[in-house]
Structure 1
Amino acid sequence: MARLILFNKPYGVLSQFTDAAGQGAGDGPRATLSDHIAVPGVYPAGRLDRDSEGLLLLTDDGRLQARIADPRFKAPKTYLVQVEGTVTDAALDQLRRGLRLKDGMTLPAEAKAIDPPQLWPRDPPVRFRKTVPDAWIALTLREGRNRQVRRMTAAVGLPTLRLVRWRIGDWTLDGLAPGDWREVAVPTH
């Protein structure tokens, strides 16, 4: 029976079990999945950047891993994104239509302004600036390019301050604190 683990990856943790580079820039060894998950034989289905937080799925089933991570299967991924600036309808429309980035056009995304979500505090906290407003966007993508959410928000004039992946397909972070994980039933479709 295949295993599927939902993990709430904290900020600063690499999406791998070992740190091939050895350490960060002068800050000693970097945190990895092995600091949180002691389950043999599972591997991440996709990645989250070290400076992103949230849902990471791990499995021991190669076909399931591909179905989750491969953009051809277009599993929707929803991100809660704190951005610098004021979210405008024009910016949201650009995200919804798709944007031209250096590596080509993005697929249209679902994008909406949201109230600040009830999340755990980030460590370290996002820098607060009294003179610069910030806002939150819920952004759902069906592709997964390198640092895509950050590049998309920057392209519409809203640099990302905090990025939390909340949902992948039918799986969400509901009830998972940072660094926690739980095993779930594997879908049979």
Structure 2
Amino acid sequence: MHAMNYRITLPADYDMGIIRHRVATRGHLLDDFPGLGAKAYLIRERGVEDSPVNQYAPFYLWNTPQGMNGFLWGPGFQGIVSDFGRPVVEHWTGLGFARGPSFGAVPRAAARKAWPLDPGAEPAAVISAALAELPELAARPGAHSVALAVDPRRWELLRFTLWEQTAPPAPGEERYEVLRLSAPELDTIETGQQW
């Protein structure tokens, strides 16, 4: 599993209806994309749920690097580049995935938390501790699924949670509205530790 996210921050007075229309009319194009576990079409709106910005921030869980590369170097991502410029694409190696009690529901909210590993910490110990929390985090009422990933270049952990309804506020998390979930291979993402 590979996680990928790009966050396009838009002007404060941007009409987020434009993004909603974009997702409503184009979102289905990835519903059968090979190698894609799931794409959550995420937005944050300035002033809604304490968001300081308007933002379009698609988040992906890839089952294969071929799928991810096929998207990045194909027409799908070129549409983003053409409309918004080339955003920074963050990506992480998957560490673990867990399904929650609302896995069969359509998620409407998401939470993203990224945090650096302490420079003096042993990476394997920190990752093991974060992985041990996954089942409990995923078991919370309303949780759809939880993914944990790491960027070893920056030594940053990322936890991404999909929720059936509103994402409960938690320290250090960014909360998003999920406009759509394309999930052609979500059922095939391995649960538990990814090695």
**TM-score, normalising length: structure 2:** 0.31
Query: Is the helix fraction higher in 1 or 2?
Result: 2
**TM-score, normalising length: structure 1:** 0.32
Query: Is the strand fraction higher in 1 or 2?
Result: 2
User: If you compute each CA radius of gyration, which structure gives the higher value, 1 or 2?
Assistant: 1
